[in-house]
Structure 1
Amino acid sequence: ERADWTNDLKGCPLLKTIKLKNWIIIFPQSKRNTATQFLNTFRSVSKPMEFFADAPQEISIPRDNAESLVNALKSHVNQSTQMAVVLLTSKRKDIYDAVKRICCLESPVPSQVVTTKILEDDRKHKSIVTKVAIQMNAKLGGEIWAVNIPLTDTMICGIDTYHDSSKKNRSVCAFVATYNQNKSRFFSRAMIQETHQELAYNLTLTVKSACEHFYRANQTFPKRIVIYRDGVSDGQLQLVMESEIPQIQKAFSLIDPKYNPLLSFIVVKKRVNARFFASTGRGLDNPPCGTVIDTVVTRQEWFDFYLIPQCVTQGTVNPTHFNVVYDKLNLAPELYQKMTYKMCHMYYNWPGTIRVPATCQYAHKLAYLVGQSLHKEHHNLLCDKLFYL
């Protein structure tokens, strides 16, 4: 009804958990009590989730400046470390960036940064630690929940771009793809490009590596590939179709000249001027979530539809526009619409539906992290984890 399952998650085992055997927690000396309280609550909330963790190695540092954090991470993170949790007293971007650069580039390990201020709010403490625990399991490669999408051997992907904050003409393109039959585990790559021409070339190699990762997990290459492409304005539509779709197809021929999976390419648009209303007994109201509009207001020459994936408590709900610009799967329109709506349920940071399919939102998060903090492509060892949540 409201597409929100916050309360259903409480005290419920997660779909697939990873045992935390070897992890570290770094905190400033002055916040030892906060760290102890966090660990105690973490143990009590993670038990009902069946997310089991051994005691971490506790590292206290004199001050939480970038230098001491970097030194602590460099000296304590090794190849067997599964997770680094860092408690910070401030939200300073330079400190956060320093932590993420070590954990995503130099010593690849999923990392969780938490500010002590939010942990010290007693009213919210338990729910914050619960969310942190769920996020940690997702970052380790666990699965939180799943929806039933009956298409087998299908890889559902999302692409989004973000402009790098460190240089004018650089942008980051992130690619995220499901790689298990449940569509609940994700493969992620980010590419940094200077010009448009490069984007296309990088995409070939990325799609190739995603298909190979799918093969390692399933012993078969994907037979169907659905790509949701976010971040395209109407003016760029033609350019994206002419440059990206041939590059994706080139990846298939690099894997094997005979390999030819069915491909669909769907452009996602969030900036939409249209608003829709449902007529109820009380007058006009927001349409219920899951509403699809695919006649009258859609374009005759396009295979497109509007979807209302979310519920809002105030104001009018923004629809999302989906345009299937290339379609070799030949699914019925309602199957595309159902699959799209189901993928809006798969974003593990929010126990409800979001405005775009989860692979697009993950791609946005990854592109944002690379563009804002890393300014380089993340380490290959992190590809199969949602380390950027």
Structure 2
Amino acid sequence: MPPARPGFGTSGRKMIVRANHFLVGFADKDICHYDVAISPEPKTRRINRVIMTELMNKHRTSSLGGQLVAYDGSKSLYTAGELPFTVMDFSVKLGKERREIEYKVTVRFAARANLYHLQQFLGGRQRDCPQDTIQALDVVLRESPCQNYVTVSRSFFSATFGHGDIGGGLECWRGFYQSLRPTQMGLSLNIDISSTSFYRPIPVMEFARDCLNLRTVDANRPPSDRDRLKLRRALRGVRVETTHQEGKKSMYKITGITSDPLVQLNFPLDEGTQMTVVQYFWDRYKYRLKFTSWPCLQSGSAARPIYLPMEVCTIIKGQRFSRKLNEKQVTAILKATCERPKQREESILKMVDHNNYAADTLAREFGVDVTNKMVNVQARLLPPPMLKYHDSGREKSCVPSVGQWNMINKKMVDGGNVQSWTCLNFSRMPVEGVRMFCGDLVQMCNSIGMVFNQMPVAEIRSASANNIEGALKDVHQRVPKLQLLIVILPDVSGQYGKVKKVCETELGIVSQCLKPDKVNKANKQYFENVALKINVKVGGRNTALQQALSRKMPFVSDIPTIIFGADVTHPAAGEDSSGSIAAVVASMDWPAITKYRAVVSAQPPRQEIIQDLFWTTTDPKNGCIMPGGMIRELLLAFYRQNNNIKPQRIIFYRDGVSEGQFAEVLMYEMDAIRKACQSLQKDYLPKVTFVVVQKRHHTRLFPEVHMKETDRSGNILPGTVVDTNICHPTEFDFYLCSHAGIQGTSRPAHYHVLYDENRFTADGLQSLTNNLCYTYARCTRSVSVVPPAYYAHLAAFRARYYDEPLEGSESTSVVSAGSQVVAGATGPPVASYRKLPQIKENVKDVMFYC
């Protein structure tokens, strides 16, 4: 069980903020839980709901005793009072004539909700959370929106809330997120504005035009194989309705697209003769098909396909697009949904009024009441830390203002030394312009504290974007021990990953990639940001916390301390052929805690537990047990870089874990940390604090109207921390907004302590986390997530590029160290996913992922 809250924080200036949480009251009702089993089992929740709605319409007044029910769309049903039976079977028929399906539905009593236990838990008198009871009340409040809107996880969408075209045959729908949460105030309903992408309800030929970015659709010019595959991926699983029969519409689910054009397709008639699809449509419907050189949509099974010409099909409204959006679509959806805090607060309150929970018949039946006002929350504003710069600069230290500062009159606390460098230009920029840019960049690096050779060791050249791999290898051959390669990327996007993969896993070159449009518009701020990234990539440090350097930093300076960050990135929806990527980073420069070494590993798709934290295998030569894994590798690196000192304290920031995964992730990953430590020395047991970092939540904090309580964007000030009211009733968690808003409404990070042997105080962990957010190496701003977790995310995102095979290469057969083994396993099983190529050691030694 996670540790209890060690008290509340007291540091910082007290203030009041509003949170998008709405208090929920509940009466002492007899809430009963029933298990639901449907046979044959439907494929979707949508069909489940259709079946149960039909069952309610037929049997509510008779067999169900007139009871109103709340259904979760899967296997649970809730009533406010007992049904007249303990178990009963029902029969429900769906469909018409030959396509009619009969479902058997079994409803069986399972349990009663323990509302007293819930009251005790919310009052802090019970530690274990009655999740089943909260689930019951949550389902009650979700029943009405589930019936009226398109449901996506915990969010509900409707075109009536607002929608807009985002290109590629898609549109953005607005909606709302809703979740019932236990807090110190009692139950609260967390409500937020949501947006997501849907297919536009348009003819399939129009969708094809938009999806393939065509001006017009030429009936006589078929799509290329590449475009056909793109269209197949985009349309697979989409439901369409036909339009060629007057007064009748038939619905189908697309299973694929034919490889042959429509004109070549035929099918067997009853008598065994073959007929073309084109002729069939003319004979049967008097419909002359026009786009006969285009492929045909396919429905049904592979054995008995149903051919659907694209021109007679229209996409049915209300279908979510769950695959990866392109850059333009992401930009469009962000632009459409970006709201300043005041606007977002108003939008949420309007949505609450629209939902009118007081008029919800089912909620009243179950005794559930929702207020319509946001809660006021006690918050505190933590001060920013003092940042240390080099003594040779005019300003030796600085205190950030509203989450930002600059490099004027300052020099890097530890400037890197770059003697061997050159530049390779893949863009259309003239090489003379590239040389001028490099000269200005070198000048900026030297002016803020680096020692940077003004002359490249090899001539700055332009190269063809069609042979990136060859050009990189040529540079490596000319200068085998190149320290830094500056790369101007091609004008077309999508080549960054190729450059990084070749440089970091094949050639061992540290590179800095730059986009040509940014280079063309380079200003002082841009040069400064690039210089900051280059400095850490060549082993330097930009700044450090004054407290850390003077060894006065609580929970860090007293004993050797290592700070880890860990994250797992998963493949985009529909791309499960590639694995998930895990990354772990760790601080190497105690007591300064600014340099982080990274290791990455591949694992099965959608696997959240990091399998490669620790593993053992058997040496086939002598039978000895050989330990390895990410934690062990990073502990050894710390040991080497700190005069053979082992860390005595471990602080582990773990990103990307949802609440339902807390127990499982903690059990496996803490076990792996312990085993990795003991593999170095039997009695080596450093004290561990394990903190989950969450950004994908929907709590927003809104400032008071006084301008002194906001930043320039109207958001709450950086350093705002909340550990009361909306936080967990008994466990150690807090919300921290550590950054200044740029656009839209700031999202605070949520930190939840799952394990704590270091006995942090509330102020201790909150201040440490906030201070670390000012040490992010890529800019002179505080960031929204603690840097070790941020770096782990960057490293995992970078390694995603390693998972993509180069054209004509065999690199996918190279195995990363330990990427096949499970934490604590005694031998590597065969992996069904592609393995990562190894990052070269000289690249690993620096912050290459920045």
TM-score by length of 2: 0.43
1:281 shift after superposition: 4.3
1:27 shift after superposition: 2.2
Pick closer, same or farther for the CA change 1:109–1:167 going to 2, 3 Å. farther
What SS does structure 1 have at the residue aligned with 2:424?
strand
Cα deviations by residue, 1:296-334 (Å, 9 ceiling, x for unpaired)? 211123111111111225543211110000000002111
Q: Which residue of 2 aligns with 1:249?
A: 674
Equivalent position to 2:750, from 299, 317, 321? 321
Cα deviations by residue, 1:48-72 (Å, 9 ceiling, x for unpaired)? 2121212112242442332442343
Cα deviations by residue, 1:20-51 (Å, 9 ceiling, x for unpaired)? 11112112596211221112212321222121
Q: Which residue of 2 aligns with 1:334?
A: 763
Asked if residue 38 in structure 1 is aligned to residue 437 in structure 2, the reply is yes
Pick closer, same or farther for the CA change 1:332–1:9 going to 2, 3 Å. same
1:250 shift after superposition: 0.8
Q: Which residue of 2 aligns with 1:136?
A: 534
- Aligned pairs for 1:17-166 (under 5 A) are 17-28=415-426, 31-54=430-453, 55-56=455-456, 57-65=458-466, 66-78=468-480, 80-93=481-494, 95-121=495-521, 124-147=522-545, 148-149=547-548, 150=553, 151-152=556-557, 153-164=560-571
1:192 shift after superposition: 0.9
| Structure 2: gaps of 5 or more residues | 1-400, 615-628, 805-835
Q: Which residue of 2 aligns with 1:236?
A: 661
TM-score by length of 1: 0.91
Q: Which residue of 1 aligns with 2:602?
A: 192
Q: Which moved more, 1:105-114 or 1:258-267?
A: 105-114
Equivalent position to 1:10, from 408, 414, 431? 408
Q: Distance in 2 between matches of 1:133 and 1:311?
A: 22
CA contact (8 A) 2:588 2:597 kept: yes
| Structure 1: gaps of 5 or more residues | none
Q: Distance in 2 between matches of 1:198 and 1:361?
A: 17
Q: Distance in 2 between matches of 1:115 and 1:313?
A: 22
Q: Which moved more, 1:251-260 or 1:297-306?
A: 297-306
Pick closer, same or farther for the CA change 1:282–1:73 going to 2, 3 Å. closer
Asked if residue 305 in structure 1 is aligned to residue 734 in structure 2, the reply is yes
Would you tell me which structure has more helix in proportion to its own residues?
Answer: 1
Q: Which residue of 2 aligns with 1:213?
A: 637
Equivalent position to 2:843, from 357, 374, 382? 382
What SS does structure 2 have at the residue aligned with 1:58?
coil
Cα deviations by residue, 1:63-96 (Å, 9 ceiling, x for unpaired)? 2332442343442341x21111112332431x32
Q: Distance in 1 between matches of 2:697 and 2:607?
A: 28
Q: Distance in 2 between matches of 1:11 and 1:338?
A: 28
Pick closer, same or farther for the CA change 1:75–1:332 going to 2, 3 Å. same
Pick closer, same or farther for the CA change 1:139–1:213 going to 2, 3 Å. same
CA contact (8 A) 1:91 1:115 kept: no
1:239 shift after superposition: 1.5
CA contact (8 A) 1:41 1:126 kept: no
Cα deviations by residue, 1:193-242 (Å, 9 ceiling, x for unpaired)? 12688954411221111111111121211111101100111221122112
Larger Rg: 2
CA contact (8 A) 2:424 2:463 kept: no
Pick closer, same or farther for the CA change 1:341–1:246 going to 2, 3 Å. same
Q: Which moved more, 1:165-174 or 1:136-145?
A: 165-174
- Aligned pairs for 1:328-367 (under 5 A) are 328-367=757-796
Q: Partner letter of residue 582 of structure 2?
A: C
Pick closer, same or farther for the CA change 1:75–1:282 going to 2, 3 Å. closer
Cα deviations by residue, 1:93-148 (Å, 9 ceiling, x for unpaired)? 1x322221221111112101113332222xx3333222222211111111011123
- How many residues are matched? 383
Aligned-residue CA RMSD in angstroms? 2.3
1:262 shift after superposition: 0.6
What SS does structure 2 have at the residue aligned with 1:9?
coil
CA contact (8 A) 1:25 1:86 kept: yes
Q: Distance in 1 between matches of 2:507 and 2:734?
A: 44
Q: Distance in 2 between matches of 1:184 and 1:299?
A: 31
Q: Distance in 1 between matches of 2:725 and 2:783?
A: 25
1:17 shift after superposition: 1.3
Pick closer, same or farther for the CA change 1:173–1:62 going to 2, 3 Å. closer
Q: Distance in 2 between matches of 1:313 and 1:131?
A: 17
Q: Which residue of 1 aligns with 2:652?
A: 227
